[in-house]
């Protein structure tokens, strides 16, 4: 009898795991994990420019619903048994002999860092890479794209090296968009020379298959006499007088 009870308990556990994996909650978890993996990859591409040697890791974990949520006005069948939490962790490349790393081979290693342990400049770089990666993900999955990017005081807390990295990334994005637009125009021109119908088909494909945000113009709001004045192409000075910006 004890053995039968143990087998029944094991079967019930397996059935519960299968139900969780293939039910509505499991489908949501699978979609979330897939989105997080892509978001992490897109963020890493920007971090390679903004902060080489720094990586942001995203993972989804389940946590039991708090007592306050369970005792809310929702019916018992409406209260989820657990909720998804997104965990962010940072790893930083370390040199040999760095006490914060796990490297003992004399080369470089990697150490985990809390987001709170990062400096203001480091947090700003990670936050910018994450925001740009999220915009790329939204453009790829939701067809939501805008060719204008506005960054307000994004250079705050950054030293000259950090500001240069941001400028390099933003200029690279605009240059890549210009090159893609030129290539698309050239392709459309070649298609138009052969047939009008193939030209319209090619145009539709090129405008919807890029999979990232189209950034033709980047506006950086910064204080006067800052790094932005030395690094970017055009400067518009805005003066606030009497509560009105001119």
**Segments in the chain below pLDDT 70:** 17-27, 62-83, 96-108, 191-214
Tell me the backbone φ, ψ of residue 224, rounded to 5 degrees: -65, 150
- The SS3 of residue 83 is strand
Residues 39, 42: Cα–Cα separation, whole Å: 5
Tell me the backbone φ, ψ of residue 101, rounded to 5 degrees: -95, 170
Whole-number pLDDT of residue 212: 56
Whole-number pLDDT of residue 51: 93
Predicted confidence (pLDDT) per residue in 5-20, tens digit = 888 888 888 777 666 6
27-35: list long-range contacts, CB under 8 Å, 24+ apart: 28/84, 29/60, 29/62, 29/84, 32/60, 32/84, 32/86, 33/60, 35/137, 35/141
Predicted confidence (pLDDT) per residue in 180-223, tens digit = 888 888 887 776 665 544 333 333 323 333 445 667 788 888 88
Whole-number pLDDT of residue 84: 72
């Amino acid at each position: 009898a004890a053995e039968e009870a143990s087998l029944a308990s094991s079967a019930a556990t397996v059935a519960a795991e299968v139900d969780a994996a293939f039910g509505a909650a499991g489908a949501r978890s699978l979609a979330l994990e897939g989105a997080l993996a892509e978001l992490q990859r897109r963020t890493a591409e920007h971090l390679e420019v903004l902060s080489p040697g720094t990586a942001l890791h995203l993972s989804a974990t389940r946590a039991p619903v708090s007592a306050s949520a369970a005792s809310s006005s929702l019916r018992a069948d409406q209260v989820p048994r657990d909720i998804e939490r997104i965990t962010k962790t940072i790893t930083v490349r370390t040199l040999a002999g760095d006490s914060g790393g796990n490297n003992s081979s004399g080369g470089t290693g990697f150490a985990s860092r809390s987001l709170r342990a990062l400096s203001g400049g480091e947090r700003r770089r990670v936050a910018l890479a994450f925001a740009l990666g999220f915009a790329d993900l939204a453009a790829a999955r939701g067809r939501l794209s805008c060719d204008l990017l506005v960054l307000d005081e994004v250079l705050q807390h950054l030293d000259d090296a950090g500001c240069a990295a941001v400028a390099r990334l933003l200029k690279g994005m605009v240059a890549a968009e210009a090159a893609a637009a030129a290539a698309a125009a050239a392709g459309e021109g070649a298609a138009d020379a052969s047939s009008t119908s193939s030209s319209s088909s090619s145009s539709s494909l090129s405008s919807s298959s890029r999979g990232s945000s189209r950034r033709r113009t980047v506006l950086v709001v910064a204080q006067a006499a800052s790094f932005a004045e030395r690094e970017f192409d055009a400067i518009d000075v805005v003066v606030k007088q009497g509560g009105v910006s001119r």
